[in-house]
């Protein structure tokens, strides 16, 4: 999805989860922080595979989740699975070649009955697997799994230093946010 929809996505996740003790796990291909830009020019992926999409960085996802949930999503973990993705993509490519036939695809997508259209379809996927595999292998793109825990305000508290630098435990309801 495009960067303009990250908060909307997390608002829907927030709405769909129960009000307390809920967990959301989000997996996304990502750009490393140093390569991330909200504007991403059109390339093969954005033109042919996922139009109008953009790869987020983990910070963009965490910020969107925090804002969309009114600070109720707490990050529990962030895992980078990029090291495993080149192998995963090679396996997907192997399965594409072994299992995807014109006959099976044409049943659901009649436009793929044409041999040229079917070959174009498969070439796009072959290219995607090779292109993405190289990006993951070289560290240009990553794959992160973020786990958020939804806290319930009435059972939560936060710490605040008062004017005398004394630590106070404050109930969530008194939180000025």
- Whole-number pLDDT of residue 1: 78
Cα–Cα dist 14/6, whole Å: 12
Cα–Cα dist 126/92, whole Å: 9
Q: What is the chain's mean pLDDT, rounded?
A: 84
Q: Are strands 73-80 and 142-150 parallel, antiparallel or unpaired?
A: antiparallel
Q: Which pTM was predicted?
A: 0.73
DSSP 87-103: HHHHHHHHHHHHH--HH
- Whole-number pLDDT of residue 165: 54
pLDDT digits (tens, 9 = 90+) for 101-120: 999 999 999 999 999 999 99
Cα–Cα dist 100/123, whole Å: 12
- How many angstroms from the chain centroid is the CA of residue 146? 8
Helix (H) or strand (E) holding 120: helix 115-138
Cα–Cα dist 135/89, whole Å: 11
Q: Name the CATH topology of 3-174.
A: Rossmann fold (3.40.50)
Domain boundaries, the chain: 3-174
Cα–Cα dist 169/157, whole Å: 7
The beta-carbon contacts of 126-129 under 8 Å, at least 24 apart in sequence, are 126/93, 126/96, 127/44, 128/44, 128/45, 128/49, 129/89, 129/90, 129/92, 129/93, 129/96
Q: What are phi and psi of 82, to 5 degrees?
A: -60, -35
- Whole-number pLDDT of residue 115: 96
- Whole-number pLDDT of residue 166: 57
């Amino acid at each position: 999805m495009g960067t303009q929809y990250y908060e909307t996505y997390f608002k829907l996740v927030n709405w769909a989860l129960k009000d307390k003790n809920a967990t959301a796990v989000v997996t996304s291909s990502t750009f490393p922080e140093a390569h991330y830009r909200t504007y991403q020019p059109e390339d093969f992926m954005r033109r042919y595979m996922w139009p109008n999409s953009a790869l987020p960085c983990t910070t963009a996802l965490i910020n969107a989740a925090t804002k969309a949930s009114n600070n109720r999503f707490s990050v529990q973990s962030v895992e980078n699975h990029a090291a495993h993705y080149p192998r995963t993509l090679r396996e997907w490519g192997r399965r594409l070649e072994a299992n995807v036939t014109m006959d099976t695809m044409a049943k659901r997508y009649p436009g793929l009955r044409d041999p040229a259209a079917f070959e174009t379809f498969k070439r796009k996927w072959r290219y995607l697997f090779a292109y993405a595999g190289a990006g993951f292998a070289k560290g240009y793109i990553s794959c992160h799994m973020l786990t958020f825990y939804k806290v319930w305000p009435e059972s939560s508290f936060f710490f605040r230093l008062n004017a005398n630098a004394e630590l106070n435990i404050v109930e969530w309801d008194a939180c000025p946010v």
